[in-house]
Amino acid sequence: WQVTAQAYGHLFLNLSGNVVMSAAVLGSSADQTAQTVCGRIVPELVDFPPLPLWRRVVNTARLLRFALAAPKVVDRFGLELERFTIAGKQDSAAMWAELAASAWFFEHCMAVHIQSSALSGFLCAVVENMVSGRSGDSTGEDQAEAVRLLSGASGVESAMMLEQLDTLVDRIAAHPDAARDFQPVPVDRALAWLRDTQPLAGEFSRFLVNHGHRGYRELCMRDPSWGDDPAPLIQSMQAAVHARLVTGGHRHVHSAEIDWSALSRGLRWVLPRAHNAIRRREHTKSQLVEVAHRFKLGFRQLGQLLAGEGKLPDADLVYFFSAGELPGFVANPDPAAVSRAIARRAAFAYQQQLVFPEISVGLPQPLEPQPADTAAGVLQGRPASRGVVEGIARVAHTLAEAALLQPGEILVTPITDIGWTPYFSLIGGLVTDLGSAVSHGAVIAREYGLPCVVNSRQGTRFFRTGDRIRLDGDSGKVTLLAQA
């Protein structure tokens, strides 16, 4: 079984494949798999017949050994990453050979991140089970308490990055010319002003040196990183500067206080290890993105070389060949292959507008556009960061829509990645259609003390921008108070 699948230009998780694996170990089930991946029980997901007991015992021991070895594996990989390079070449054949010879390292990095994530997911599940006193059957209150305990994981890399960005935004907002020359102007002019204004230019340059490999859809080869195209980052910084100028301050990274003396001996032992695992998971995600960034640069150069050699009409078409097609095309360009790539690009632009149900049985099929039923006025999701907030909803499917956020609005979005994090200092709360307690949005919301509900399933269809809503991060409920 594969753990992912593709349909209509979209990538999906194969939950059935995960359940096949859960049937091979002790103490796992379809419901627990669904809770870990989706943040809720999925009725459509059923258990597979378990393997014989002796095999599950052996597999469980191997799985635990695999997960517990993550710290040493991650430390060792850091040294490997320091030595890894993708060298630029002068012709397309040599450039493709370099990329093909380096592909194993991307797979290796992904394996390290999976191992790191396995330990994080395992320990977070242990914390929730210990809080609830039972396995795989926690209540909303149990989940909220587990979230509170897990939010003590300070020093998470993406949150530290955001704190550094917030410091830079504060300095920009304090500049006497920012209200005229940065915040209200087009992105290209704002970027030019920032690069020409000392000492802000130096601080921005250092930020890109440390975090320029991150960005929106950061594992997609076609999407540029912040270091290559800072425009989306600048746009979010302009919104944050506007918020500073309006409110006079910003939300600082929040560190939850934990009364360790009130915890059981078991929780006092496992919780610090869960915190470390969360930090490690974020770190290996950043390393994976760093490797992807280097491949992005390589594929961009390959596209430019192919275009320069007259093999492609434009460099962007390189992203619409499969890895199996590229070697033959680089060696013997074929006009039919170019036409096929052009057709794929047109199809991809259409496919990106399609919306799919959260759960599909069989091949996923796109949904027909239709409004969600708002008669009940309440959505039930999974609590991911405690607190209650009322405010105006901002429904955003893209970063371009998120750029319209106003200070204090509640962001309602399908899911977030690192490209969304600059907006976390601006919003009053977060609702996502998908996600779990260890998803990106949940982790960063806890760091900022933002109320957050994940796995609302249809928040982006249920609410509209301008609706007044109440977000309850303790119960997981999101309530429509007044329609726009």
Arithmetic mean of pLDDT, 17-32: 85
pLDDT of residue 285: 92
Q: What is the largest CA-CA distance in the chain?
A: 71
Q: Where residue 19 falls among pLDDT bands split at 50, 70, 90?
A: confident
DSSP string, 347-391: HHHHHTT----SS-SSS--PPPP-----SS-EEE-EEEE--EEEE
Q: Where residue 359 falls among pLDDT bands split at 50, 70, 90?
A: confident
pLDDT at 106 over 60: yes
pLDDT at 451 over 80: yes
Q: Where residue 250 falls among pLDDT bands split at 50, 70, 90?
A: low
Regarding predicted confidence, which is higher, 47 or 373? 47
Q: For 395, how many CA atoms within 13 A lie in the half-sphere containing its CB? A: 14
Q: Where residue 107 falls among pLDDT bands split at 50, 70, 90?
A: very high
Q: DSSP character for 139?
A: -
- Looking at the chain, the whole-number percentage of residues with pLDDT higher than 70 is 92
Q: Identify the top-confidence range among 147-161, 225-239, 293-307.
A: 293-307
Q: For 176, how many CA atoms within 13 A lie in the half-sphere containing its CB? A: 0
Lowest mean pLDDT among 158-172, 204-218, 243-257, 415-429: 243-257
Would you kindly state where each structural domain of the chain is located, as residue ranges? Answer: 1-68, 378-482
Block residue for tokens 């699948």: 5
Q: What backbone phi and psi angles, to 5 degrees, belong to 365?
A: -120, 140
pLDDT of residue 239: 83
pLDDT of residue 254: 56
Distance CA 324, CA 146 (A): 45
Block residue for tokens 């320029």: 212
Pick the CATH number of 378-482 from 3.40.50.2300, 3.50.30.10, 1.20.1050.10, 2.60.130.10: 3.50.30.10
Q: Where residue 253 falls among pLDDT bands split at 50, 70, 90?
A: low
pTM of the predicted protein model:
0.81
Arithmetic mean of pLDDT, 276-286: 90
Closest CA to 304 of 230, 234, 228: 228
Q: Identify the top-confidence range among 180-184, 373-377, 441-445.
A: 180-184
- Looking at the chain, the whole-number percentage of residues with pLDDT higher than 90 is 48
Q: What are the helix (H) ranges across 226-264?
A: 231-247
Closest CA to 445 of 392, 386, 378, 370: 386
pLDDT of residue 84: 96
- To 5 degrees, how large is the angle CA 320–CA 113–CA 13? 55
If you average pLDDT over every residue of the chain, what do you get? 87
